[in-house]
Structure 1
Amino acid sequence: MVAKMVKRKNCSERNLKTGFEHFLEMDMKKNITAKDDLKWERKLAKKLRVKEGKLWGVDDGINSLFEEIPSVVDSLGEGEILEAQKFSLGSSVKKRKKSGLVVETSSGDVALEHVSIKMCSSKKHEELLEQGPEGGMAHMVAIRVAKPVKTFGPEVVMEKAPALEESIKYKAPYLRSCAGNESEEYHQIQRQIRGLLNRLSESNLESITKEMVTIFHSVDRSVSSQIITEEVLASCSRGQRGNEQYAAVFAAFVAGMAYLVGNEFSAELVASLAKSFEDEYLRNEELPLRNLTLLLSYLYIFNVFTSDLIYDLLIILSKQLLEIDVSTILTILQCSGMKLRHDDPVAMKNFILSVQNRMNELKATSGDGKSNINNKRMEFMLETICNIKNNKKSPKEDTVQYAQINKWLQKLRVEDTVIRGLKWSKLLDPDKSGHWWLSSNMAFLADNAEEVAARIDGEVLEVQKMLQLAATLGMNTDARRAIFCVIMTSVDVLDAFQKLLRLDLPGKQDRDIMRVILRCCLREEAFNKYYTILASHLCKHDKNQKYTLQYCLWDHFKRLESMNPMTSLHLARFVAEMLASFTLSLAVLKTVELSDTKQLTPTRIMHFRMIFEAIFKNPDRVVWNIFKRIAVAPELETLRNGIKFFVREYVVSRNKGFAGKFKVAKRALNSVEVLLY
């Protein structure tokens, strides 16, 4: 029992102080040796699980908390350091390669943080020891200069190493482990982004953009923006000849990213695109230049920036009109020429004048006027400019392209992030800094403050006039007034169509669009086909608009008796145009009893006679198709008989010139043949 108590007492006394506390209480000047020092350092490293100068596992930044706490060997002298060298070299033959401490000094104090010992064979160790302290220290210990550190023991002054102090810069310990992994992390993100861009298409555009946003926020913004920009430009410029769909998908991706992460991303990408464009232009590389031009054009189409930048580039290209200039201008005009004309007709006029002036200069310098301008590409460019000037669209521009992309971008409302006032020279400016895409816009406005103020006043007055006119026409709701202002202030049909789609009216308020169009058409002094073409576009885009138009026409048919003759004429021509464009069919007349002489008043007879006379003015093929569309349906038998009766009694009897057209109409109504489109 007594032995157990003694043993327990001895254990409690032994546990009162740790070995490290005993070590601190030792007289460091007299008792500690280099051998003991390294022994304690290794034990401490093993306890703290320190390997190669850093904690095992993920660096949690704890090293930064101990910057002001020195090592326990800060107070060692030169002789003891040399003794530590010999001990470490002797013990390294038996043990595996390890890293020790580095001596860092900046003044009289000493701070040993990390010693990199180059392990060799035992024979090599002996040779180094024989060389003395100079040879051993030169080959095995790296001494770095750091800030002075306070020690816990007595202060020991060591001399600096001036040669190493100037050649080696200090790097914080918690940053040393990141330097080696930086390039690998960069390449890993680059491979991930490249893989996503390689799979980018119109169908998965939204999902890949969301993944790219996640990657963008996972690392530094500048790094992620730089990688994405480089990969997008590389994908679009290098490789085979790119098509418009490929450029459109990448431009839509950039527009979506600009909304989701900020327009500084799109601004930096456009600046890099301009730099790549200039490089390819100077190298006269036509294929990469065309691919970059397509991307630039679709970035404009998808509202990443305004038309100012494109017009600035076109003016620059028109100054020389070399072959590569002509090719680039032609690519831009074929891709976005009509949109450029709609956005800024005045700038388009200035560009055309610039081209004409350059053509006159080329004719004057060539003498005969043929050597510099007589080539097919130049002729095609001039023909394209002429078509744009005359608002003559190509067949592909009559259809709404990239419907899925446009729907997604409208949902994001990317027009809110459009960059305004960009100039080509600003993109290439090497001294631009800060939010340069915003500062350029502000500078542009500041230089033209009076002009901008005058333009704003004019726009306010125009809006006030439009609102007063809307009130006189019975536009009694905010939705109808907005629709009216869009229709009356648009440049052309396509501009009005796109603006009406962007109104995004809630609920069934979009049905007011067709009512406002019809009311505006009937109140004009002269009939304007602008309203029929706009209504046709809307009906083809949304079938609900077609149904709304039918109900509006039926309501007007009921009020024919109280309608003035001019309004009745406009309504008749409107219906005839909608039938001739095959937006509506003659089934719209099924609510009218054309064979009932009691209901056919002079006013109603006059109105429907004008409709059929306008139809008969079309070619036979169009007349055939108009009447053939109601020939098969059995529920329209009454309508077919009513049409034959009305045309025979009230149209052909008064004008024998329509007899031939009536024969075509009758054969179409009795035929089961296909339509002749």
Structure 2
Amino acid sequence: TEEVEDERVVAIRKTLQGQLNRLSESNIEGIVLQIEAQYQKYPRHHVTSVLTSLILQSIESRIHMLDTFLYVNAAIVGAVFRIVGLEPVAHLVQKLMEEFEQRFTQSMTEFKAAQGAEASEGDAMTTGKECQNLCVFVAELYNFQVISCQLVYDVIRLCIKDINEFTAELLLKLIRISGQQLRKDDPLALKEIVRQVTETIGASGKLSVRCKFMVESLTSLKDNRMRNEMSQNAENVARLRRFLGNMDKRRAVGAVEPINIGLQDIRDVETKGKWWLVGSSWVGNQYTGDTDGPTALQKAQKDSDNAEMERLLKMAREQHMNTDIRRSIFITLLSSDDYADAFERLLKLDLKNAQAREMMRVILHCSGQEQAYNPYYTLVAYKLCSYHNTYRLTMQYALWDFLRELGESDVGGLGRISEESSSLGANVPLRRIVNLAKTYAWLVDKQVLSLLILKTVTFARVGEQARVFFQVMFSTLFLLHKKQSAQDVQAVYSVFQRAVSNPTMCHGILFFFQHFVKNCELVSEDERPIMKWGCKVAKQAIRSGVGSTSFDDM
């Protein structure tokens, strides 16, 4: 009902307002976690709407905002971009640019009216403070890789259409805050802008002192002669960028691609649809400069019709696919014809480094959510693990993460980061434990993974949930060879022989077999002999490889 919805909005606003009121560089991480908690607790639309409103209202002030306030708020947006995804940040960028253009037009009118009344040149410094604050915020979002240089260059192009003290002030702020990065990202665009400015001032003739200083600053930037003091908060911004980079690594977010849209996309939102929504009528990125081509999400959706894509996107949200990359992988998996098609389409997403590793985590998530074990996800994982060692390594780390989730806090050495520690030992659904155990058993049997992925497990004291996982994993491994032929013996023997380089782990595995697998209660009476056979073959392989009699009593 509307009343319940209003109560939710009030609760969200109260929480977020309190967090943002005390925002500073020192407590930004805790506030980011509180914002994430709101997204997990309430509908995303409500949280996004309130967060956008609060941030823009605080920035859109008639007073001059401190740079610190603006770049810390921009860092918050950058963090939301990484942990929640594209949509909330895209919504904020859309509202920000709409408000900026409206304020820009209003401020230009006020400035020209003041000029007609013979206002002093210094009045430009106080004209349109709201617009100036919004402009600085755009530059800070660019610094934190939320938006690409295209949008900032479009703002610059808007300003140089009519060069006066007010637009010169905006340009000087952009140059001071983001100039060096703009030059690095697209020096040709900067060169063209300097050319246009030169032509414009040549036609107008007379220039104020402030405008001349702006032109000199632009020229110095183009020629890489800009003075260092023009980037006052570079060190603080760099520290916050490192914070966001560390967040990427801890959360396995992967590399975040800045939103690559221009002012025209902002203006066309009513006619062409919301550019950030899959299935909208937006035709795509029209930028003609150097880019890395279509985004992963665009590639994932290009062959699907809008209705189906909307359905898949809804499912992705329900499954907490909270980044553009994760959604693209999820949609590719669910829209592929078979595992071979999925493998080919995933590779065509052309994801790099940490982005590519997200594939395995999404695959495991999907496998764990199935009501019954679905070999489709295992086969896709097999193809990827066979393709490159990166995916095999990710499967190992993902297993350690999962075992920690099951309560094995010492697996993998260091425990999880503090914000995830509360999930250790949580009650994980049995279907997820079983499905992932069968996935890993199959991959180990096919030898794209080795039993050495279990090298950090202390089998003598695993908890109840982890015990079930390993019982299912090893029993599945043996049941894959239930015929017990010579070929089956060799297959099982080979799996365990590959693990003998770690005698401590092998000792733990045989201990686990003796107590929990040989007479495993999770298999039927008819399958018990297969368990005993498998344990015997494994013991022979380990004893042969390790060359010790210490295993004889097991």
Structure 1 and Structure 2 fold alike (TM over 0.5): no
Q: Higher relative CO (CA 8 A, sep ≥ 6), structure 1 or 2?
A: 2
Q: Place the TM-score, normalised by the shorter chain, in its bin.
A: 0.3 to 0.5
Larger-gyration structure (1/2): 1
When normalised by structure 1's length, the TM-score is: 0.37
